[in-house]
Structure 1
Amino acid sequence: MRLTDEQWVLLAPFLTPPEKTTKRGRPRRDDRTLLEGILWVLRTGAQWEKLPRSDYPPKSTCFARFQEWNDRNVFPAVLGQLYELLEDRGLLDLREAFIDGTFSAAKKGARMFGPTKKGKGTKIMIMVDANGTPLAVHTDSASPAEVKLVQDTLDASFGFDFPERLIGDKAYDSDGLDADLTEIGIEMIAPHRKNRKRKTQDGRPLRRYKRRWKVERTIAWLQSFRRVRTRDERKAQHFLGFVQLACILILLRQISG
């Protein structure tokens, strides 16, 4: 997968190598070519050894750089910078946001996964703004209910501003969640569960629920990256790194229009 020059200009400052403490060793391989190799794996879902040698550096070099950037928390830093850029350009709408979770089947050997009716896997929680732009992403075991992962998703926000309203499906209908979000200035909007006795929502706020397709569209964008759709990483942090990279590409798409 190739990056445009405009995209590379935005990403390059965050990929600068740590200072060397010795002059020994081989020269560092080109960051752009290595990143494009990593993005090829993200897009295709192929094993590292399947990287086309005619187009990209060796698998060991690409994986080592991916691991280095992941360990240095480069991807969250990029997401934060892109968030600020979108905000400066007036491309974020925080009057309302949408939250939902999606399931990624985990292959044998993966850590931090949970059993569900769909099998063993990892849950990806995502929050998007009124335009469907990703605001936060969080990965966890697939076992916990989504309502229990809302705070962790908010904590993983790319920026510092919370939306005025957070809209979810019936899974987020919870008095406890309503109270917790009210304390930080967020109104939770979700349809009532069938067994709810005390009504907390009226028809007017729930009209916003009709726009929930925006988070479903963003989830579809995420799942277009095969390395996200099926988890192949043994380490949870590596899988999160790929999910963050997918969000970076989605934000770059929003910036470039």
Structure 2
Amino acid sequence: MPAPIIDDELWALIEPLLPRPKPRRKRYPGRLPVSDRAALNGILLVLKTGMRWNHLPTRLGFGSGATCWRRLHDWQQAGVWGRLHGLLLDRLRESGQLDFSYAAVDSSSVRAVGAGPKTGPNPTDRARPGSKHHVLVDANGVPVGVILTGANRNDVTQLLPLVDAIPPIRGTRGRPLRKPKVIYADRGYDSDSHRRRLRERGIRPVIARRRTEHGSGLGKFRWVVERTHSWLHGFRRLRIRFERRSDIHEAFLKLACSLVCWNIFTRTQRPF
């Protein structure tokens, strides 16, 4: 199985964000620790293939699964993935690949093996434990905001939190971007009070109404968020939640969003 080697350019962005390791004792320092880059490659292998931590092949130089798990946990606690996501959003805006003329929101449910925090009975899976990935994307499908909740949470309850989760996006001179001009959403977000609160924030809501015929015409705007969910589910570790700890699953989710942003950024930067 080939090891997923992280790009040198992406590693140059990630390395300064990582916390410095603790100083080693001069006498009896013990074995040298696994390098951060090797541990990150092990984390990426788990994220992309969905394998168990204890099945991580140490012969590829990643270290043990426990080592990679601890690095993922420590970097999540240090806010590495959130800062990386914000940095990549800045790069996308700087290169003209971020389009905030409108945004689209939607959620996808995943089964949660073993339950844990931020899980709940999934109404679409016979009330088995599950979680929801709530995502807000720009007009190009760039994941800008993401939230993890239990599968029993209504989509509309996360509409305003998703808007609040948008980081200040810089990359060009002037004020940072904080909100889209328009938000498109399906019937799951139908709420007059939420429409009013979005208008108060200067955002025009375009939300399909319940108990109306299908064919609202919003699909030509909302398809980008469906595609982004497909991109995220291309990382097999996100298809089923195996982590009882919600912070570990959130770390995988934010890392996957960062990788999607990086793929969009490099897709137009590299010659064909």
- Compute the TM-score of the two structures, normalised by the length of structure 2: 0.86
Shift of 1:112: 2.1
Moved over 3 A (4+): 18-28, 206-209
Counterpart in the other structure of 1:181: 198
Measured against aligned partners, the alpha-carbon deviations of 1:166-207 in whole angstroms (never above 9, x if no partner) come to: 1011111210110111111111111221179xxxxxx9xx65
Shift of 1:209: 4.1
Residue from 12, 37, 44 that aligns with 1:9: 12
Counterpart in the other structure of 2:51: 46
Q: Structure 1 147/109 Cα, relative in aligned 2: closer, same or farther at 3 Å?
A: closer
Structure 1 vs Structure 2 CA RMSD: 2.0
Instruction: Output the amino acid matched with 2:227.
Output: R
Identity of aligned residues (%): 34
Is the contact made by 2:137 and 2:145 (CA closer than 8 Å) also made in structure 1? yes
Measured against aligned partners, the alpha-carbon deviations of 1:22-79 in whole angstroms (never above 9, x if no partner) come to: 6575544211111010011111111101111111211121111111101111110111
Q: Which moved more, 1:233-242 or 1:187-196?
A: 187-196
Shift of 1:111: 2.3
Residue 92, structure 1, aligned to residue 102, structure 2: no
Runs of 5+ consecutive residues of structure 1 not aligned to the other structure:
197-202
Counterpart in the other structure of 2:221: 211
CA distance in 2 between counterparts of 1:239 and 1:105 reads 12
Q: Structure 1 88/23 Cα, relative in aligned 2: closer, same or farther at 3 Å?
A: farther
Shift of 1:241: 0.6
Is the contact made by 1:76 and 1:158 (CA closer than 8 Å) also made in structure 2? no
Is the contact made by 1:93 and 1:131 (CA closer than 8 Å) also made in structure 2? yes
Shift of 1:104: 1.2
CA distance in 2 between counterparts of 1:185 and 1:23 reads 58
Shift of 1:255: 1.3
CA distance in 1 between counterparts of 2:117 and 2:231 reads 25
Instruction: Output the amino acid matched with 1:49.
Output: N
Runs of 5+ consecutive residues of structure 2 not aligned to the other structure:
170-177, 268-272
